[in-house]
Amino acid sequence: MKRILDFYADWCHPCQSMKPIIEELGKKYTIEKVNVDKEGDKAGLYEVMSLPTFIVMKGQEEIGRITGITTKEKIEELMRQ
C-alpha cells in the first residue's frame, strides 16, 4: 500500500501553505506527518534536507519525492506510479 510521508515544521511558512492541500489529499490517501523538530532521526534516515518534503512510499520503498511547494496534482501523479 502506498502512503505519503509529509516532512514539515511548524515554523516553516511553505509547509503551512501546503497544509490545506495535504489535508485534502488525506481524505483520499494515507499521510504520515513527520515533524522534523520532534522526529529529526526520521528526517535524517530519509535524508530530508529541505522543507516541506513529500515522499511517496510503496511498502518500505521510496518511489518518489517532491521538495518545496507543489500542487495537489503533482503529488497525485507520484501516487499513481
- The pLDDT assigned to 81 comes to 87
Residues 49-72 have pLDDT tens digits of: 999 999 999 999 999 999 999 999
Q: Minimal CA–CA distance to 3: which of 33, 24, 23?
A: 33
Residues 3-46 have pLDDT tens digits of: 999 999 999 999 999 999 999 999 999 999 999 999 999 999 99
- The pLDDT assigned to 15 comes to 98
- The pLDDT assigned to 5 comes to 98
Cβ atoms of residues 26 and 80 within 8 Å: no
Catalytic entry in 2, 3, 9, 12: 12
Q: Reply yes or no on domain 2-58 having CATH 3.10.20.30.
A: no
Phi, psi of 3 (to 5 degrees): -150, 160
Catalytic entry in 15, 25, 36, 48: 15
Assess whether 7 carries a catalytic annotation.
no
Assess whether 12 carries a catalytic annotation.
yes
- For the whole model, what pTM was predicted? 0.95
Domain boundaries, the chain: 2-58
How far is CA 68 from each of CA 3, 38, 59, 60, rounded to the nearest angstrom?
Answer: 18, 20, 24, 23
